[in-house]
């Protein structure tokens, strides 16, 4: 039994060595919107930023885990009456963990076109109501949220470009009395540019 385990481990290691493997450091922008605002509230995505890296294991079909640190901003406009309006930005800092599966639609030496889809999980690190006018605080938000992401990747030699969209699957706000009835979820658009490092034969 021990010999069989060693043999299987050796075969798996050899197969992994032959498989394509890449590391892709990236930096980019994001636009994070909140859905389903309360009456009298308007949400609008502002520009944020993100940086991190993902890995690609496989050939035409590949597995793409990754991690990204980012800041996103949502403008909030609250109208109390016809003449009284509060405006401010909610800025969130988070760590996004990705587990995507992708397929190379075009796989050539100079150019790859990829499509990837899969779950992501956002770990909320901090929330800042920049203008202290909106009334939300860090304690109103859940510490984590599940999402489903889709991305289209363009690889041109060492350069990679990836527009993406992320649909929130869980509520943004927790069960505090002031926010428990708000059904808002995250909707995030992203664009990253980076470099391809590794084996891409």
In the prediction, which pLDDT does 130 show? 60
Name all domains of the chain by residue range, CATH numbers in brackets: 20-199 (2.40.160.20)
Which tokens in the block code for residue 100? 């995507």
pLDDT in tens, the chain (201 residues): 445 445 434 433 444 444 689 999 999 999 999 888 777 788 889 999 999 999 999 999 999 999 999 999 988 887 776 666 667 788 999 999 999 999 999 998 889 999 999 999 999 999 886 655 566 777 888 999 999 999 999 999 899 999 999 999 999 888 887 777 788 899 999 999 999 998 765
**In angstroms, how far is the first alpha carbon of the chain from the final one?**
36
In the prediction, which pLDDT does 200 show? 62
Residues 14 and 41: their CA atoms lie apart, in Å, by 57
For residue 107, which phi and psi values (nearest 5 degrees)? -135, 95
In the prediction, which pLDDT does 17 show? 46
Give Dmax over CA atoms of the chain in angstroms.
79
CA 200 to chain centre: 24
């Amino acid at each position: 039994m021990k010999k069989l385990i060693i043999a299987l481990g050796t075969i798996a290691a050899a197969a992994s060595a032959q498989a394509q493997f890449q590391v892709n450091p990236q930096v980019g922008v994001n636009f994070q919107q909140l859905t389903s605002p309360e009456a009298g509230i308007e949400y609008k995505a502002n520009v944020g930023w993100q940086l991190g890296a993902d890995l690609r294991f496989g050939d035409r079909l590949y597995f793409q885990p990754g991690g990204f640190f980012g800041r996103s901003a949502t403008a909030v406009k609250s109208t109390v009456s016809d003449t009284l309006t509060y405006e401010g930005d909610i800025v969130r800092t988070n760590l996004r963990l990705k587990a995507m599966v992708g397929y190379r639609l075009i796989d050539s030496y100079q150019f790859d076109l990829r499509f990837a889809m899969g779950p992501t999980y956002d770990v909320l690190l901090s929330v800042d109501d920049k203008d202290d006018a909106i009334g939300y605080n860090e304690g109103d938000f859940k510490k984590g949220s599940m999402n489903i992401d889709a991305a289209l990747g363009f690889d041109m030699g060492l350069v990679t470009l990836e527009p993406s969209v992320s649909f929130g699957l869980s509520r943004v706000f927790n069960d505090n009395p002031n926010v428990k009835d708000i059904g808002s979820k995250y909707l995030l658009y992203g664009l990253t540019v980076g470099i391809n490092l590794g084996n891409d034969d």
